[in-house]
Structure formats: structure tokens, C-alpha cells
Homo-oligomer: A and B are copies of this chain.
Amino acid sequence: MATELLDESAKGVYVIAATPFTETGAVDFDSVDSLTEFYIDQGVHGMTVLGVMGEAPKLTDSEQTELMQRYLRRIDGRVPVLVGVSNPGIDNLASLSKASMDAGAAGVMIAGISGLKTDEQILGYFDKVMAKLDDATPVCLQDYPPTTTVYFSNGVINKLITDHPRIKMFKHEDCPGHRKLTALRNAPETQGVRRVSILTGNGGLYVPQELKRGADGIMTGFAFIGALVQVYELFKAGKVDEAEDLFDLYLPVIRHEQQIGFGLALRKETLRRFGALSCPLARAPGPAMDGDDIKELDGLFARLREKLQSSGQPVPNGI
């Protein structure tokens, strides 16, 4: 069953799905299924596959396609799915986009590519990209300077939104980025720009501040994704302090996972403890935990359990 297409009203918590591998480095399709059920069970409002956290650049083209199709088939329309399609070649980007939409994706997510320096270059690149995409393909524009080395100014973002009606969502992940978020959120009022959905990243590190500044939700691979769903729901229900109290209980772990690059290993190990995937290995070259890292994680989880219990909050199984 296909989901509805992404539109500007999208909101909530979109989890960036891990790509599970077996001990020998093959894509672990059984774990794709178990991960899907785990994420759905945590109450996520959407999923993003083949993101940076999904190790997409280390997959072959056919693995990318197969993984995307497996996720979509298993999700089966229960939540909308975005597919990360960024690629050094625009033709490759376009063909994966088409395959994704054909398989039932709600839209695609596209970041800038290395080498784009000025506003003109960024605008020119996306003009070329959009010209190759089907008009009916909704797009999430991804801002992630630490990895892409592409810096979007608000002027560029607003112009892209204006020039390309199929941009429905903006993934905000600049840092520091609070003021940028506020200005983008207000741009419909202050500048008459079309309002799009804004989800924020940075591993969830600033969720309460970002929701207060008007973000529509969060898109991250944080392993305790259900906690962010709870935070989001409390916030939406007007229980802002309760939301932040819960968030603060998880903040030591959020901060720990938000170690760029290494966080992938922490997340996959945590997902393994949850029973969501079988093998926590990242594909080479990728991070791996050593004994000290495991002990450190155990310590953080022990503290988390205790704090959750003493606050009357549910404790996730497995940690």
C-alpha cells in the first residue's frame, strides 16, 4: 500500500532508519523487517531510509534499491517514508527518486553536494536537480553542513522553496541554528514565502528549543526514538514542561549519541539491545565500539534506567 505523498503539513517524529548488516557485511533484510516493526511500535510519524545514518553511500546501487523496496514493502503505508537520494551524479539521483516513488515513497530527501560554495552555485545545482525529477515527486531539502560542507543561507532556502513548489519539507541541521530556524519559520509571515514543514536534526540535542521556535517535528536516528515521540506528543498537548522534563532525562544519552560519526556505532548497538536488529556492525569504513565504549554505554544506561524509574517513566526494554 502506498502512503500519501509528502506535503507541507508533515509533522511529528521521522526516524532515520538504520541499515542493518550481517556479520559478513551483507545487508540484513530480516533485520530490516524487525527494525521496521520496532520503529512503528515506537510510534514514529514517518521514516527516512538511505540517509547519512543509513550508510547509503556504502551500498551499491542495487543494494540501495533493494533496501528501499524492502523497507517500503514492510512499512506498507503505515507511515510516510522519505528516501535519501543524494548522489554525486544527478542522473543517479533521478533514477533512485523514480524507483522510490514507484515503490511507494512519500517523497525524497536531497542535500547539496561537496563543492557548492556560493548561493548562486547552490541555486544552480538544485535547478539542475529539479529539472531531472518528476514534477510529482515531493522533496525534503536537507541542510547538513558538517557532512555536506554546503551552507544554505535563509535567502537560498526561501528562494528554493519559492522556485520549486515540490519542496515540501526542510530538514534543519545547521548548528548553531536556532536563529536560522526562527527566521525560516517566520518567513511565510515576514516575507510571504510558502510555508513548508520543518523538521530538525542534530541528533535531537535541541528538541525543546526547536519546538518552541516553531519546528514541526524532528528527524533523527536517535535510538530511543520513542522517547522523542513522547516528548513531541506532550509538547503538542501543551504540556511543555512535562515534555522538557522527559527530554532532560534522556539528554545525557542524546548528548552521548550525538558524537558525529561515532554515534552510528552507539545507535546500532542500542538498537541491537532493543532487539530491533541482529548485528550492530557498520559497514567499512565505519565506527566500532571497544570495551571502554561498551562499559561507558552500560553506565549511561544504568543511570537512565534509574532516573526513569524514579520519575515514574517507562523504561525501554533491553537497555
Task: Show the binding face of A for B, using Cβ within 8 Å.
Answer: 25, 55, 57-62, 88-92, 95, 113-115, 117-121, 125, 128, 132, 145, 151-156, 175-176, 178-179, 182, 205-206, 209, 212-213, 241, 244, 248, 251-252, 255-256, 259-263, 283-285, 290, 292-293, 296, 299, 303, 307
Q: Flag if B89 contacts A57 (CB, 8 Å).
A: yes
Q: Given the known inter-chain contacts A178-B296, A209-B296, A248-B252, please indicate yes or no for A91 contacting B25, CB distance below 8 A.
A: yes
> A59 — which chain B residues lie within 8 A by C-beta?
89, 92
Q: A213 and B89 in contact (CB under 8 A), knowing A114-B114, A125-B285, A259-B175?
A: no
By DSSP majority rule, is chain A's interface helix, strand, loop, or mixed? helix
Q: A154-B120, A251-B252, A252-B251 are in contact. Are A176 and B261 (CB under 8 A)?
A: yes
Residue of B nearest to A153 (CB): B118
> B153 near A256 (CB under 8 angstroms)?
no
Give 15 A-B contacts (CB < 8 Å), ordered by A residue: A25-B91, A55-B89, A59-B89, A59-B92, A60-B95, A119-B155, A120-B154, A121-B153, A128-B284, A175-B260, A176-B261, A178-B293, A209-B256, A213-B296, A251-B251
Known pairs A57-B88, A59-B89 / 16 extra A-B pairs, C-beta < 8 Å? A55-B89, A60-B95, A118-B119, A118-B156, A119-B153, A119-B156, A120-B153, A121-B153, A175-B259, A176-B262, A178-B259, A179-B290, A179-B293, A182-B292, A212-B296, A251-B255
